[in-house]
Amino acid sequence: MGEIVAARRVSKVFKTGKGAVEALRDIDLTIDPGEFVSLIGPSGCGKSTLLRLVGDLLTPTAGELVVNGKTPAQSRLDHDYGIAFQKATLLDWRTAIENVELPLELMNVGRDQRRARATEMLEMVELGEFVNANPWQLSGGMQQRVAIARALALRPPLLLMDEPFGALDEMTRESMQQELLRIWRETDTTIIFVTHSIPEAVFLSTRVVVMASRPGRIVDSMPVDLSHPRGVDTREDERFYTTLTEVREALRGR
């Protein structure tokens, strides 16, 4: 199987009333099936822009971008990826299970089949007891679990995540990181994950892609040599601290 994402000299320029802003320049990046790749860099370096290009929420100004062997637009139409944002963006008037059912409903999946799939997804994220809860009855971390379950409902080979844990407290964030790794192992999904946190990027990833701004570009791509499954002991591993330092120095341009 070839790359699930292949970007070749991809650039993005936003036109403004005062001229133009070059958000990304000559991005070359390939991601293989099964990888967990984090994009990290300073604010304004184009991490989220790159993620949105992969998800066909934006269109490249130049270059070639292939997702699952197709154009991003065709990949979107074929539901080849799911997306989870910083905010869970759940529909308040739908229960947890009804929120997870939404993409299946839009695909005209039968009621019994979509209910069974949504139940399976909520059990996978350990919310089987909360299928009938409304979003406002769930904590922030639980809402994000529902959003992840919804993103995976159609069994996409690729999951795009834009700082999904950024608004959570530290304890909940670490718990959600652990949960996400479990889901990643169980589903064989490829994940592209945007974050500002170096420890989060290192703990989660098989590879950390370091970006710099003005204009946004990739300056390093660093494999993470930490064994799986990862847990509390991982954060105390000497290799964890070594990789943190390497990513930090890459961000500083050393």
Q: Where are the domains positioned within the chain?
A: 36-60+70-80+159-254, 90-155
Q: How confident is the model at residue 40 (pLDDT cuts 50, 70, 90)?
A: very high
pLDDT over 80 at 1, yes or no:
no
pLDDT > 90? residue 73 = yes
Each residue's pLDDT tens digit, 112-123: 999 999 999 999
More confident residue, 111 or 1: 111
**What would the pLDDT profile of 148-158 be if each residue is shown by its tens digit?**
999 999 999 99
Phi-psi region of 71 (alpha: psi -120 to 50; beta: other; left: phi over 0): beta
Residue 235: pLDDT over 70: yes
How many other CB atoms are there within 10 angstroms of residue 66's CB atom? Answer: 19
125 φ, ψ (degrees, to nearest 5):
-95, 15
pLDDT at 87: 87
Q: What is the pLDDT of residue 142?
A: 94
DSSP per-residue codes, 108-169: T--HHHHHHHHHHHHHHTT-GGGTT--GGGS-HHHHHHHHHHHHTTT--SEEEEESTTTTS-
Across all residues in the chain, what is the average pLDDT? 94
Check residue 254 and give its pLDDT.
57
**CA-based R_g, the chain, Å:** 18
Which is more confident, 45 or 16?
45
Fold of 36-60+70-80+159-254: Rossmann fold (3.40.50)
Q: What is the pLDDT of residue 147?
A: 94
**Neighbouring residues of 241: CB distance < 8 A, sequence distance ≥ 6:** none
pLDDT at 229 over 70: yes
Q: Is the pLDDT of residue 160 over 90?
A: yes
Return phi, psi of residue 94, to 5°.
-115, 145
pLDDT 10s digits, 173-222: 899 999 999 999 999 999 999 999 999 999 999 999 999 998 999 999 99
The pLDDT of residue 172 = 87
Confidence band for 59, pLDDT divided at 50, 70 and 90: very high
Report the pLDDT averaged over residues 87-96. 94
